[in-house]
């Protein structure tokens, strides 16, 4: 996975490994890129086109892209491109540019309504020779309307068709919530299947069959709590390979991380930068912006990083996969550079000690006791 050269792999810490890939020399800096290069990106030039305009064209070096081994033996890159909230007319070029820069992991979902454009970006990058399909890791997610076992394959095939792919490297159950397909909206209790009517384990078992058909290599979940994870493990006898959840210093989910580590489940961090660009309808008044946090910015300066780069490095240092979203070429490059930063012990401890608790993504309109969750709350 992610191999762009025949160089020898380097073993990494926290159960990860490093695989060298080739990147342009002009991306050697962690904190930023030359303004002239950024201007070329801004005008829509590809990495290869930019290299032709530089005094030292496309002089390559290797850097180490960390990977983790999932419980089914699959290698997953520790860093990837998130596509939630990316407009279709922007994400096509963003995906192509990211893959040219050296990304090899793209995270998508049926509900993002941009999978066709994501697939076009992937196709363009493969067509240009920037990356081969077998070196690319693509994740997508089963939406809530496809939870009935007979609908699971349909949901997967719709995603594959939109992306223009034959298989997914990782397929996740997007939420532990099942919509009734015939309902036009999902705002009332009767619009949902209860956990007793349609157990999550039945959906998960149907997803496992996708592996047998060659439609997905690994199967996991998203937004699952320890109690929900334990229930599907007990009922199916299979441990999900990944659990993708909101993770950042305001919502570190330490108990969930410890549980997943004990079970051999790899966590992926979404909204690692605080998701400040999500729709206003999803925001609360006076919510604390993560990127403006004084501690985060002070530590970033000492580490010679931007605040965003620091949060990416923190996520990987914890042993989690991280998928920041961007459609801007300069930020794509800077985010990628952060993925190889070695965080100091002092920086890690200071970030771990932040005592603000805040969850940015919480679909409270789905919270119906006894239907979409059991126990004290949806997040228990």
* CA–CA gap between residue 207 and residue 210 (Å, rounded): 5
pLDDT digits (tens, 9 = 90+) for 321-338: 999 999 889 999 999 999
Q: 366 near 178, Cβ under 8 Å?
A: no
pLDDT digits (tens, 9 = 90+) for 207-259: 999 999 999 999 999 999 999 999 999 999 999 999 999 999 999 999 999 99
Could you tell me what percentage of the chain is helix, strand and coil, using 3-state DSSP and rounding each to the nearest 5? 40, 20, 40
Tell me if 121 is assigned to some domain. yes
Tell me if 373 is assigned to some domain. no
Sheet holding 266-270, edge to edge: 81-82, 105-107, 137-142, 168-173, 216-222, 242-246, 266-270, 321-322
* CA–CA gap between residue 210 and residue 348 (Å, rounded): 39
Checking DSSP bridges between strand 216-222 and strand 168-173, what pairing results, if any? Answer: parallel
Tell me if 5 is assigned to some domain. no
Tell me if 214 is assigned to some domain. yes
Give pLDDT, residue 57. 35
Among 145, 192, 211, residue whose Cα is nearest residue 370: 192
- Among candidate residues 41, 103, 112, 250, the one labeled active-site is 112
Indicate the helix (H) or strand (E) that contains 23: strand 16-24
Tell me if 207 is assigned to some domain. yes
Tell me if 48 is assigned to some domain. yes
Q: Which CATH number belongs to the domain containing residue 332 in this structure?
A: 3.20.20.100
Side-chain half-sphere CA neighbours of 290 within 13 A: 28
Domain hosting 94: range is: 10-358
* CA–CA gap between residue 334 and residue 337 (Å, rounded): 5
Neighbouring residues of 359: CB distance < 8 A, sequence distance ≥ 6: 246, 250, 251, 379
Tell me if 309 is assigned to some domain. yes
Q: Which residues pair with 270 in a beta bridge?
A: 246
Annotation marks residue 103 as catalytic:
no
Indicate the number of domains in the chain.
1
Tell me if 33 is assigned to some domain. yes
Q: Which pTM value belongs to this model?
A: 0.86
pLDDT average per 10 residues of sequence, the chain (380 residues):
38 43 36 45 52 41 75 97 90 94 96 95 96 96 98 98 98 97 87 97 98 98 97 98 98 98 98 78 81 96 96 97 93 93 96 95 93 93
Helix, strand, or coil (residue 378):
coil
Give pLDDT, residue 184. 75
């Amino acid at each position: 996975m992610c191999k762009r050269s025949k160089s020898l792999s380097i073993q990494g810490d926290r159960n990860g490994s490093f695989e060298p890939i080739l990147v342009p020399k002009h991306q050697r800096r962690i904190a930023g890129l030359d303004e002239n290069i950024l201007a070329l990106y801004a005008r829509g030039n590809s990495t290869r086109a930019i290299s032709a305009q530089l005094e030292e064209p496309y002089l390559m070096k290797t850097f180490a892209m960390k990977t983790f081994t999932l419980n089914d033996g699959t290698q997953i890159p520790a860093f990837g491109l998130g596509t939630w909230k990316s407009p279709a007319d922007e994400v096509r070029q963003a995906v192509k540019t990211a893959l040219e820069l050296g990304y090899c992991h793209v995270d998508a979902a049926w509900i993002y309504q941009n999978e066709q454009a994501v697939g076009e970006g992937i196709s363009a990058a493969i067509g240009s020779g920037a990356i081969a399909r077998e070196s690319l890791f693509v994740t997508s997610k089963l939406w809530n309307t496809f939870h009935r076992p007979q609908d699971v394959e349909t949901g997967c095939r719709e995603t594959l068709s939109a992306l223009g792919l034959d298989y997914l490297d990782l397929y996740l159950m997007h939420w532990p919530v099942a919509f009734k397909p015939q309902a036009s909206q999902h705002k009332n209790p009767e619009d949902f299947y209860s956990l007793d009517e349609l157990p999550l384990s039945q959906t998960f078992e149907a997803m496992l069959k996708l592996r047998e058909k060659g439609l997905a290599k690994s199967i996991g979940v998203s937004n699952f709590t320890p109690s929900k994870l334990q229930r599907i493990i007990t009922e199916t006898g299979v441990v999900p390979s990944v659990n993708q959840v909101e993770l950042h210093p305001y919502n570190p989910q330490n108990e969930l991380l410890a549980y997943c580590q004990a079970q051999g489940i790899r966590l992926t961090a979404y909204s690692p930068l605080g998701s400040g660009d999500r729709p206003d309808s999803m925001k609360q008044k006076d919510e604390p912006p993560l990127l403006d946090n004084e501690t985060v910015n002070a530590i970033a300066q000492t580490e010679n990083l931007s605040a965003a780069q620091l949060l990416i490095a923190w996520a990987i240092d914890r042993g989690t996969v991280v998928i920041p979203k961007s459609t801007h070429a300069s930020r794509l490059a800077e985010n990628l550079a952060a993925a190889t930063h070695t965080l100091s012990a002092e920086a890690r401890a200071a970030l771990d000690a932040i005592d603000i608790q805040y969850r940015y993504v919480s679909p409270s309109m789905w919270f119906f006791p006894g239907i979409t969750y059991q126990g004290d709350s949806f997040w228990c």
